[in-house]
Amino acid sequence: MAKIDRAKTIYEAAIALPPERRTAFVEAQAGGDAELAAMVRDLIDATPSEGVTAIAPEPNASEDGTPAWPATARDGASEPVTLGPYRLLSKLGEGGFGVVWEAEQSAPVRRRVAVKIVKPGMDSASVVARFEAERQALAVMNHPCIAKVFDGGQTPDAQGARPYFVMELVRGDPITSFCDLNKLGLNERVDLMVRVCDAVQHAHTKGIIHRDLKPSNVLVQYQDGRPQPKVIDFGVAKAINQRLSEKTVFTDRGQMIGTPEYMSPEQAEMSGVDIDTRSDVYSLGVMLYELLTGALPFDSRSLRSAGFAEIQRIIREVEPPKPSTRLSGRSGEAPPERRGPINRDSATRTLRRDLDWVIMRCLEKSRDRRYETAKSLGEDLGRYLRHEPVQAGPPSVGYRTQKFLRRHRVGATLVSGVSLALVAGVIGTTWQWRQSERNRIEAERRLESIRGFSGDLLGALDRDLAGLPGGTGARRAAAEAAVQMLNELAEDEANASLIAIDLARAYRRASIIGAEGGAPLDQTVGRLREAISWAERAPLDASTNVELALAHASLGQRLI
């Protein structure tokens, strides 16, 4: 029995993967046990193809008039036609171990409901325990944005009793599809997520962590003229302060629970222990990212085509681009295509700052840096909608510098002397700057340090980097690193005007060095246009006029 249960557990994880990746996954999980691998492959081969709708036929009455089990349904699955007062009509969908049917309830009231039944042959102890846990999880919750559970029972003993439960029928679309199809604006999408956060917070107060929050598990439909979200499918939920089932639910070590695109770094560890409510906060952040940009933090095709260990590494270590950066296309990936009405340029400007800060706080690798609760996230989104300062705020300069150096090790090495001076200066002055009694003095020192760093970078381009090994290629890489570093510093509005003229010079010199190295014309022209844009933002003085004239002259030469 232990091997059978293990085979079904591996099957549940494998069936959620793309077909081309299942074989390698099964072999890895089986650990050389050929019999175990064969059992799992048999289960996968017996699984019907996705997208087939099964319509339950009319009941075959037995001699005593009791509805009998039908012959094989259209998709090959065998189910009872009726379960007490519930008559199954059509299959709505299925997961790793359960099938959901639309059904008609005849008593004590007539209504349409959803009935979820354990699949035939999947009624192992672990699956039944998890299924009963989901039923109990829904039963202890009472929130307008969480699907309600009405009833439960077992299928007829004659065919092998399997548990089922009856819940509210939700005829909505996944939240992302709903927003795009109904052309909801950015603020309407944020407002919708505020109510999703409230529902998840309700589950957390009941001691339930969802662990698989994603658009397909948040359905939305219009109710009384207003979009109404419903959180469904607590199938991999975890109880943090109560026992949800008489049977113990065991999570096998080494089994990935959840959906990789929406999975928190601690879930990707697959230890099965020490998962708390902040894991759901991470998933809410991914959904919000997708709702507002039309793209995921990590591209789904790239993620799922990677090896198992690489998926874990990406989730745990790789920093996703900010939403505004992803939407604008500055992340290096093509801007996402979207069906909604949001103008990309307008949305990019709106996302920058407040919503960037909120979402990136949700997506922190360290859960200690995320929002403590879903309620805190919802409250910060409410502040944004009311045009109040959000609590997320920008990360500290020292923290951003540390993250930057981790992302750009090669570029930082090219200007290591200068960047090390920046780290030392900024960390030291920022710490002192936070002391209220020296606020003004230390703020001035910090600005001087940034200006000095900017000037040092430009000087390095002209002097120190001229003799770098690799010639023009090395100078071009250094120029791009300088531009990128200055751009990140300029994200802070307090710094932007201060170093605008240096950014203009950096872009112009990057264009010149790029042209010497054979860079494409559109790239060198783009750098010069950026130089002009930044020069126009700088305080008007003689040096600014000179820089503007030089940039326009260089642009004219390129366009001749």
What pLDDT, on a 0 to 100 scale, did the predictor assign at position 416? Answer: 54
Catalytic residue positions, numbered: 212
Residue with the two structure tokens 């529902």: 199
What pLDDT, on a 0 to 100 scale, did the predictor assign at position 140? Answer: 80
Whether residue 545 has pLDDT greater than 70: yes
Q: Which residue has the higher pLDDT, 5 or 198?
A: 198
What pLDDT, on a 0 to 100 scale, did the predictor assign at position 329? Answer: 65
Hey, CA dihedral for 281, 284, 288, 290, is it positive or negative? positive
Burial grade of 174 (CB within 10 A; 0-12, 13-18, 19 or more): middle
Q: Tell me which residue of 151, 149, 291, 289 sits closest to 231, measured CA to CA.
A: 149
Give me the helix-helix angle, 2-15 and 19-30, nearest 10°: 150
Residue 24 tokens, joined: 């390698």
Q: Are 420 and 468 in contact (CB under 8 A)?
A: no
Give phi and psi for 365, each to the nearest 5.
-65, -40
* Percent of the chain residues topping a pLDDT of 70: 66
Instruction: Report the length, in residues, of the chain.
Output: 560
In 374-415, where does DSSP find H-type helix?
374-385, 397-407, 409-414
What pLDDT, on a 0 to 100 scale, did the predictor assign at position 74? Answer: 35
Q: Are 186 and 206 in contact (CB under 8 A)?
A: no
Could you tell me the maximum CA-CA distance found in the chain, to the nearest angstrom?
Answer: 102
What single-letter DSSP state applies at residue 464? G
Mean of the per-residue pLDDT values of the chain: 74
Give phi and psi for 13, each to the nearest 5.
-75, -40
**Amino acid letter at 43?**
L
The helix/strand/coil state of 48 is coil
Q: Are 383 and 295 in contact (CB under 8 A)?
A: no
Confidence of residue 143 (pLDDT cuts 50, 70, 90): very high
Radius of gyration in angstroms for the set of CA atoms belonging to the chain, rounded to a whole number: 29
Euclidean distance between CA atoms 557 and 167, whole angstroms: 70
Q: Tell me which residue of 376, 373, 383, 291 sits closest to 339, measured CA to CA.
A: 291
Average pLDDT over residues 224-250: 67
Confidence of residue 204 (pLDDT cuts 50, 70, 90): very high
Q: Are 203 and 158 in contact (CB under 8 A)?
A: no
DSSP string, 442-463: HHHHHHHHHHHHHHHHHHHHHT
The helix/strand/coil state of 115 is strand
Which tens digit of pLDDT belongs to each residue from 242-273? Answer: 555 444 333 444 455 668 889 899 888 765 55
What pLDDT, on a 0 to 100 scale, did the predictor assign at position 109? Answer: 86
In 251-343, where does DSSP find H-type helix?
265-268, 278-293, 300-305, 308-317, 323-328
Give me the helix-helix angle, 439-462 and 472-490, nearest 10°: 160
Q: Which residue has the higher pLDDT, 422 or 373?
A: 373
What pLDDT, on a 0 to 100 scale, did the predictor assign at position 65? Answer: 38
Tally Cβ neighbours within 10 Å of residue 438: 12
Whether residue 64 has pLDDT greater than 70: no
Euclidean distance between CA atoms 476 and 388, whole angstroms: 43
Burial grade of 175 (CB within 10 A; 0-12, 13-18, 19 or more): buried
Residue with the two structure tokens 């950026």: 530
196 Cβ neighbours under 8 A, 6+ residues apart: 145, 175, 218, 229, 231, 284, 287
Q: What share of the chain is helix, strand, coil (3-state, %, to 5)?
A: 55, 10, 35
- Kindly report the pTM of this predicted structure: 0.58
